[in-house]
Structure 1
Amino acid sequence: MTWNIHYYLANQQEGLISTLELSTSQKSFLSGLKDQVRNRTKEVFDEAKRIAREVIEENLSTVSLQSKISNSYLGYLSTAERTEISLLLQNMSKNERDAFRSISPRFWIQGSYKYNTLNQPYHKPPQEMDIDDGTYLPMDIFDNKPSVGHRLLILLVDASLKSLEVQNKHNGWEFIGDKPTCSRLKIPSKHVHIDVPMYAVPKEEFKRKEEALAILKASEAYRDFSMQALSESTQLESDSVYLAVRTEDKWKKSDPKIVADWFAQSVKEIGIHLRVLCRILKAWRDVQWDKGGPSSICLMKCAVDTLRRNPHDGSDLGETLRLLASHLPNQLLEGVRSPDPTDGDRLLFPSANEHSRKETEIVERARDLTSTLERALVTDTKSEALRILQTLFGSRVTNEELIKHRDAAPAYKEEPAKTKPVYISDTMASG
């Protein structure tokens, strides 16, 4: 017998994709968490700028300065960090102080929440839903170096998240400060964390983009703009976006919008089934590993490469998944390149000659995906096909009637389940 598993994957009530959707309350919590972090970050920056002004205007002594720090949100930092931020504020040059006082944080959502590929975790804990919400700081940049030191700015973002941690200690919120390129706030009871990377962008270019956007919004043409076109019209030059690296005490050029735009364009060219299949590959990964496995962006890149190069019928998710699975092991053996050209030769997954035991195991599980999927499609009964599929995708789907005889399966006439994410503008937001 040959089986068609399209409805097993795509049915909007009982299929796999329906079980990956976040509930309305989960989406609301994630959106509220994002807003809470953004608002607190703006408050922390406002307080720090006020204190920086008072250092000069009131000729603050070290004791007075430390008192003001302790009585602000900066007081949630450790004693050593409060001493450090006191010295940083005291020792600013006039130019540095002026540059710092002119900073007004902006924010831009990124990662799976942005791509609309965020899944319900399978192993809870340790798996979590995540938001990546970049804090963008427009400032003067000289000789490829932002004018305000990144250590001060990292401490301000840390103070924002640490204050929320302490104020929500009764709910188990936890600050994580050992990530090299972001600060993290975990909410274990909700199986959620939010990562806050920090970027410096050139102030004058950013100002021109904001002014252009304001003019556009006031015009009759604004209502005719798609969000993608609006995003492109306000995009900064990628080589002028600098990411703060905590562990190396430096900035490095890095623009997450490159990958976001690459995936949006890929979905536009290949079809909506690309996004659905990326979520299905991630669902397989989350069942097979409670921690680790191939990264989400690695699986997305493999899916895009396969579907660009091979003719396929995107209206049959089962057959298209077979296509992806058949190519995945060799893609992992060859190495998976980043879709971001500014990454140079950086690989999302190393080639075979650099594989450790971890990478070798990932390749073996990718081979198992291929062979197990094939076995499910030709087994004798629907119940056996369902049992085999559950070894790949977990026990979320229980209705074997979603598995159809291939010769009896109707052509696919409805789109895969479309998620309805909490709306977040593609353009950079002030809050």
Structure 2
Amino acid sequence: MLNLTKLFFSSTDDTVFSDNIATTEEQRVFLTDCRTKIRDYLKPAIANATVAVLGMARRVEPRFRTQGSWSYKTCIQPAQPHLQEIDIDYGVYLPVDVWQDNGPPAAMAKKYFDLVETLLQVLCLQEGWKLETGTNAKDTCIRIDACEWAHIDIPLYAAPLEEFNNVVERTLVLNKAQHVAVFDQACGSESFMESAKVQVQTWDDLDTIMLATRSGIWMASDPEDVAKWFRDQVARFGDLGNQFLRVCRYAKAWRDFHWKFGGPTSISLMIAIAQSFEGKRGRDDVAFENAASTLATALNEEIRESGIDDAKEDFNRMKPGEREDASSKALALADALKQARGCQEYQKNKAIQIVTAQLGGRIPSSDHLVDNESAIEIVRSTVPTIVPAPRVPNTSAG
């Protein structure tokens, strides 16, 4: 049997799958710069309009937060860059001094959305970006096409002023070495720190967060729920947390390779993998195969998670026929990985071809990355895999 782990993840100088699907340093710098420009432009402009335009009692400043896949470090390069894009979610949070009927004044949602969109039109003209409008515009956020390979989604939130004042800002002086946290170890050098001195906010005191929509209504929404849950999962798996994170990224890359559009959502993949994750130290190939087997079952069913919204939401948003197709593709992935691992030493190139058929040309073609399992390793591979402790409710402080 073969050990295919180095095709996926390796500490050597070889460029492997995890490297090929990671965003580049140039891309991270570019998107960080875009985000900074958005924040620096919107912060005073929104504050100056809070009284005259939004009808608030006094001038208040918004705050900003990077969220989504950039927050929990699962963003990857698209498998089909001519059809797919890198995206970053950058939320705008406004403290509201008047809270009625469990939300801000109804009329304020449309004013808030129109204000920010108008401001961003000017910024886009200045920067050469494109603001999506018309039928392409989303109801739940403002989208900026910053370049041909990436877009930035800007959702607009509001929270009660008294809660917002409980958000504690603390200044941390971080050097490059301190940036290498558990997520960065799994994803490569990736940091979205705004500078050596950054304002880090704790958001767990915000119990009530409302999202303004283009249609002029407020929606209850807390994007931090998923981020807190995901961080808890990484911590729950202990020294296998890095492997769990990588496997989630592999699954997203598999999804992007097989679906030009649509397919299983990223959150559904993450939840399904977390709920049945079987890690194996030093064997990303085995861990990914186990995850693929899990997905083959999970993607054909409802996917709920008690740590997110009390399991009220089914994160498997595919229709019945789409679920069957996704389940079939996941089963094919699991079978292919098992078949590739079962190849003999002289069949290393065949094993690589089998994996490449499932994940595309970003799998390296170097057969020296494929190891032959010794008799001892084969025996060890039959030992029960490492199973994490039972899941517990989300307890992260954010």
Structure 1 residue 344, shift from structure 2 partner: 5.0
Q: For structure 1, which runs of at least 5 residues remain unmatched after alignment?
A: 53-88, 90-95, 412-425
1:192 aligns with 2:146: no
Distance 1:193 1:343, change over 3 A: farther
Q: Deviations over 1:121-151 (max 9, x none)?
A: 2211211111101100011223312147110
Report the equivalent of 2:393: none
CA distance in 2, matches of 1:29, 1:339: 37
Aligned to 1:116: 73
Asked if residue 245 in structure 1 is aligned to residue 213 in structure 2, the reply is yes
Asked whether 1:236 is paired with 2:194, we answer no
Q: Which residue of 1 aligns with 2:343?
A: 379
Counterparts of 1:260-271 in structure 2, within 5 Å, are: 260-270=227-237, 271=241
Following TM superposition, by how much is the alpha carbon of 1:47 offset from its aligned partner in structure 2, in angstroms? 4.7
The answer on whether the counterparts of 2:94 and 2:159 sit within 8 Å (CA) in structure 1 is yes
User: Residues 46 and 102 (structure 1 numbering): CA distance in 2 closer, same or farther, change over 3 Å?
Assistant: closer
Say whether 1:389 aligns with 2:355.
yes
- Once the two structures are superposed, residues 94-126 of structure 1 have per-residue CA deviations (whole angstroms, 9 ceiling, x without a partner) of xx6233x43311011111111111111221121
Q: What's the offset of the Cα at 1:315? A: 2.7
Quick check: 2:255–2:264 contact (8 Å CA) kept in 1?
yes
Q: How is 1:415-430 mapped onto 2 (pairs within 5 angstroms)?
A: none
Scaled by the length of structure 1, the TM-score of the pair is 0.73
Name which one, 1 or 2, has greater alpha-carbon Rg: 1
Relative to structure 1, the CA distance from residue 227 to residue 104 in structure 2 (aligned partners, 3 Å threshold; closer, same or farther) is farther
CA distance in 1, matches of 2:333, 2:227: 27
For 1:65-84, list aligned pairs within 5 A: none
The separation in 2 between residues aligned to 1:143 and 1:227, in whole angstroms, is: 42
Q: Given that residues 348 and 367 in structure 2 are in contact (C-alpha distance below 8 angstroms), is that contact kept between their aligned partners in structure 1?
A: yes
Q: Which of 266, 275, 287 lines up with 2:257 in the alignment?
A: 287
Structure 2 partner of 1:306: 276
Is contact 1:262–1:339 with CA below 8 Å preserved after alignment? no
* Counterpart Cα distance in 1 of 2:118 and 2:305: 33
Q: Which residue of 2 aligns with 1:31?
A: 32
For residues 64 and 375 of structure 2, the distance between their equivalents in structure 1, rounded to whole angstroms, comes to: 51
Residue 192 and residue 338 in structure 1: after superposition, are their counterparts in 2 closer, same or farther (change >3 A)? Answer: farther
Question: Which residue does 2:372 correspond to in 1?
Answer: 405
- The CA deviation string for residues 168-206 of structure 1, in whole angstroms up to 9 with x for no partner, is 44xx634346212111001343x0010011111111121
- On the 8 A contact 1:301/1:339 being kept in 2, the answer is no
Q: Deviations over 1:215-274 (max 9, x none)?
A: x989xxxx9xx999x979652243x11112333x32122111111011111101112111
The CA RMSD measured in Å over matched residues stands at 3.1
Query: Match for 2:116 among 151, 157, 166?
Result: 157
Task: Specify every segment of 5 or more residues in structure 2 that has no aligned partner in the other structure, as ranges.
Answer: 184-198, 381-395
Match of 1:207 among 139, 142, 165: 165
Q: Distance in 2 between matches of 1:304 and 1:266?
A: 7
- 2 CA distance for matches of 1:134 and 1:234? 12
> CA–CA distance in 1 between the matches of 2:375 and 2:30?
43
User: Which residues in structure 2 correspond to 1:49-60 (within 5 Å)?
Assistant: 49=50, 52=52
1:359 aligns with 2:323: yes
Give matches, 1:82-231, under 5 Å: 89=53, 97-99=55-57, 101-140=58-97, 141-147=99-105, 149-169=108-128, 173-176=130-133, 178-189=137-148, 191-210=149-168, 213=169
1:345 shift after superposition:
2.5
Within 5 Å, give how 1:324-339 maps onto structure 2: 324-338=291-305
Residue matched to 2:23:
22
Distance 1:109 1:348, change over 3 A: same
The structural deviation recorded for 1:35 is 0.8
Identity, % of aligned positions: 28
How has the CA–CA distance of structure 1 residues 23 and 339 changed in structure 2, closer, same or farther, with 3 Å as cutoff?
farther
Take 1:15 and 1:227, find their aligned partners in 2: how far apart are those partners?
20
1:262–1:385 Cα change, 3 Å: same
Match of 1:84 in 2: none
What is the SS of the residue equivalent to 1:297?
helix
Per-residue deviation, residues 343-383 of structure 1 (Å, max 9, x unmatched)? 65321115xxx834333222221121122222222234010
Q: Structure 2 length as normaliser, TM-score?
A: 0.79
2:267 maps to amino acid: I
The one-letter code of the counterpart of 1:243 is L
8 Å contact kept, 2:66–2:89: yes
- Residues in 2 aligned to 1:135 and 1:409: alpha-carbon distance in whole angstroms: 55
Among residues 238, 247, 253, which one is paired with 1:277 in the alignment?
247
Of the three residues 295, 309, 325, the one matched with 1:342 is: 309
Q: 2:283 aligns with which of 313, 316, 328?
A: 316
Counterparts of 2:63 and 2:109 in 1: how far apart (Å)?
Answer: 16
One-letter amino acid of the structure 1 residue matched with residue 15 of structure 2: E
Pair 23,346 (structure 1): closer, same or farther in 2 beyond 3 Å: same
Cα distance between partner residues in 2 of 1:269 and 1:153: 39
**What's 1:368 paired with?**
332
